[in-house]
């Protein structure tokens, strides 16, 4: 019953904050909820013990009783990724397959090392000494763009379909590579013996990412065939729920990527079900059900992120390192996007404006905080969590609210047309 009470309290708070945002702030719903939660958290940290001691105590106990890493990575993320995957057109993704693949693999590795080296050499100037291996741990957890935050923000930014697919596709698929890199580096940091051979890491990545995608496709194919035989909206909703909840249990038992399983299953089912004529009422109920699940869980997740401030005891001591981390992460994001587009055949299809949008649209979110909170307690875990929180809050609020202005559709279309003309001239 304790979990029920906790979730009930979060839903009530999320609905109140959503209402306040709609009436007064008028920000995108999820960002508005998070902003209000952060303001409430700051007020409680500064005055809670004297002005509202019972409220402060209750909220503290609520946040301490919830395992954010387990709740997000083991439950919420599966629903959100499936809901995200089910709405993506596989044909659009095929067209952007190469950039999505490169950014979600090579890009993550490049970003991890750029962040690691940058933090290692710059933090000592601020009087903070973080061992290189822990700088790499931070680099690994902060490098993947958050699919939930990215998909939430892209709904507000009217970018072109090809650019939306690049950003969304990368965010959905980079978790597999990020988890492998984070797992290997964290094991090295805590002193465990790890085989760093190319073959060993390659097998780990193949099992984690490849196994997850294969399982997702298999689940998607089987359940899509079942749904085709019974075209009923109630059964269709139940079947998709079973894919998410049962699929995660299978992935966990097989030690493969649950997030990638959900992405692959969502992509397959969303596109397979379009290929046969499902009853309009069934399709309407199914789409609206997953849109509702997406909105509710997004609201709770961003509320979580806002209230995580209560769990960081000395955030003010790490504000300046946090600002440094924001700059380093943005620079690393630029290198991880600009590098592959500059030195591969992708350069012809990526204009400067497109690169700018990809860099600024690389939003970090709850996944980075969840990974930071999974680090075993040590003298370095608090600073990593604090600077991660600073980067995530900046990313969601500042980048999330300004991405629509950065993403100038007319300018992107003009630059892409110029790029195509140059390519045609080179062929001639």
* pLDDT (tens place) for every residue of the chain, 428 residues total: 577 888 888 899 999 999 999 999 999 888 999 999 999 999 988 888 788 888 888 888 888 888 888 888 888 889 988 988 888 888 888 888 888 889 998 999 999 999 999 999 999 999 999 999 999 999 999 999 987 778 777 766 667 777 888 888 888 888 777 877 888 889 888 877 766 677 777 787 788 888 999 999 999 999 888 888 887 889 989 999 999 999 999 999 998 988 889 999 999 888 876 666 667 788 888 889 998 998 899 999 999 899 988 888 777 888 999 999 999 999 999 999 998 887 766 666 677 888 888 899 899 988 899 899 999 999 999 999 999 999 999 999 999 888 878 877 677 667 666 666 665 666 65
pLDDT at 35: 94
Any idea where the domains of the chain sit in the sequence?
1-65, 68-426
How high is the pLDDT of residue 319? 92
pLDDT given at position 328:
98
CA distances for 284 relative to 28, 153, 280, angstroms: 24, 24, 6
What pLDDT is stored for residue 158 in this prediction?
A: 66
């Amino acid at each position: 019953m304790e979990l029920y009470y906790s979730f009930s309290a979060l839903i009530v708070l999320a609905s109140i904050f959503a209402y306040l945002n709609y009436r007064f702030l008028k920000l995108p719903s999820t960002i508005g909820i998070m902003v209000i939660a952060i303001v409430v958290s700051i007020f409680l940290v500064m005055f809670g013990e004297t002005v509202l001691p019972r409220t402060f105590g209750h909220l503290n106990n609520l946040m301490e009783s919830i395992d954010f890493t387990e709740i997000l990575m083991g439950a919420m993320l599966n629903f959100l990724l499936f809901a995200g995957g089910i709405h993506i057109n596989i044909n659009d993704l095929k067209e952007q397959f190469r950039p999505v693949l490169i950014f979600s693999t090579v890009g993550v590795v490049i970003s991890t090392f750029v962040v690691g080296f940058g933090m290692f050499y710059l933090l000592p100037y601020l009087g903070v000494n973080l061992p290189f291996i822990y700088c790499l741990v931070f680099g690994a957890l902060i490098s993947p763009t958050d699919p939930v935050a990215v998909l939430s923000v892209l709904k507000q930014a009217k970018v072109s379909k090809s650019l939306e697919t690049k950003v969304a596709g990368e965010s959905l698929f980079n978790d597999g590579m990020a988890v492998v890199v984070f797992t290997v580096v964290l094991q090295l940091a805590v002193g465990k013996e790890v085989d760093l051979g190319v073959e060993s890491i390659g097998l780990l990545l193949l099992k984690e990412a490849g196994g997850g995608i294969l399982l997702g496709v298999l689940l998607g194919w089987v359940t899509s065939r079942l749904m085709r035989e019974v075209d009923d909206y109630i059964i269709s909703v139940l079947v998709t729920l079973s894919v998410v909840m049962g699929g995660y249990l299978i992935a966990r038992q097989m030690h493969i990527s649950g997030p990638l399983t959900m992405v692959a299953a969502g992509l397959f089912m969303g596109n397979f079900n379009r290929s046969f004529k499902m009853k309009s009422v069934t399709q309407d109920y199914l789409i609206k059900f997953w849109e509702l699940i997406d909105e509710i869980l997004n609201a709770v997740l961003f509320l979580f992120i806002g209230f995580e401030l209560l769990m960081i005891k000395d955030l003010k001591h790490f504000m300046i390192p946090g600002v440094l981390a924001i700059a380093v992460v943005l620079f690393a994001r630029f290198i991880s996007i600009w590098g592959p587009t500059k030195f591969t055949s992708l350069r012809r299809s990526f204009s400067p404006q497109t690169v700018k949008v990809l860099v600024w649209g690389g939003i970090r979110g709850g996944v980075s905080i969840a990974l930071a909170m999974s680090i075993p307690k040590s003298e370095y875990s608090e600073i990593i969590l604090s600077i991660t929180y600073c980067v995530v809050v900046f990313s969601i609020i500042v980048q999330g609210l300004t991405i629509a202005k950065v993403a100038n559709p007319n300018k992107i279309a003009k630059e892409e047309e110029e790029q195509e003309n140059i390519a045609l001239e080179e062929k001639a």
